């Protein structure tokens, strides 16, 4: 169940970890669907047999952009923000993929509120998101994610 906060409460939380998402499954079906949707069918994602033979990962891995695309759903599973009429994904400042995400893994995101800045009609939230793989020792994605919240 997501943590519930009002938009006006967020400024006091800048610099703190605010929420942790639910776990999300990243199986071969999701990876294959993403490959089809984006026309990115590189063998390291979609060919398990070749991956077992040739890949240093020992099996298929998720696309970095698939991992990144889970951020909105992960934020929604972690946090409900009241007191706004609309929130929009405003973009990303920094993105890195420090570790591969093997097919069949579960991931979740940790959300640290880096900044709350006024913009015309509302606030811009800068989130430091770290996506961790269950059982992994390094994040599979770290990103600075910008959300605009309009009142």
pLDDT over threshold 90, residue 81 = yes
6 pLDDT tier (thresholds 50, 70, 90) = very high
Q: Please give the pLDDT value at position 70.
A: 98
How many separate domains does the chain show?
Answer: 1
Count the Cβ atoms, other than its own, within 10 Å of residue 93. 12
SS3 content of the chain, % helix, strand, coil (to 5): 30, 45, 25
CATH of the domain at 137: 3.10.129.10
Domain that holds residue 109: 3-150
Is residue 1 very low, low, confident or very high in pLDDT (cuts 50, 70, 90)? confident
- Per-residue 3-state assignment (H helix, E strand, C coil) for 115-145: EEEEECCEEEEEEEEEEEECCCCCEEEEEEE
At residue 132 the predicted structure's pLDDT band, cuts being 50, 70 and 90, is: very high
**71: which 2 tokens?**
């951020």
Q: How many helices (H) and strands (E) does the chain have?
A: 5, 8
């Amino acid at each position: 169940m997501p943590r519930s906060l009002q938009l006006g409460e967020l400024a006091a939380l800048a610099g703190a970890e605010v929420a942790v998402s639910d776990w999300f499954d990243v199986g071969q079906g999701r990876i294959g669907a993403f490959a089809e949707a984006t026309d990115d069918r590189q063998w390291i994602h979609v060919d398990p047999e070749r991956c077992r033979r040739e890949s240093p990962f020992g099996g298929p891995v998720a696309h970095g952009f698939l991992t990144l695309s889970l951020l909105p759903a992960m934020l929604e599973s972690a946090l409900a923000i009241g007191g706004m009429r609309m929130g929009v994904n405003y973009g990303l400042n920094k993105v890195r993929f420090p570790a591969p995400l093997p097919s069949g893994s579960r991931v979740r995101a940790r959300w640290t509120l880096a900044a709350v800045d006024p913009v015309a009609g509302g606030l811009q939230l800068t989130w430091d998101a770290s996506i961790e793989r269950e059982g992994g020792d390094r994040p599979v994605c770290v990103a600075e994610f910008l959300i605009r919240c309009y009142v």
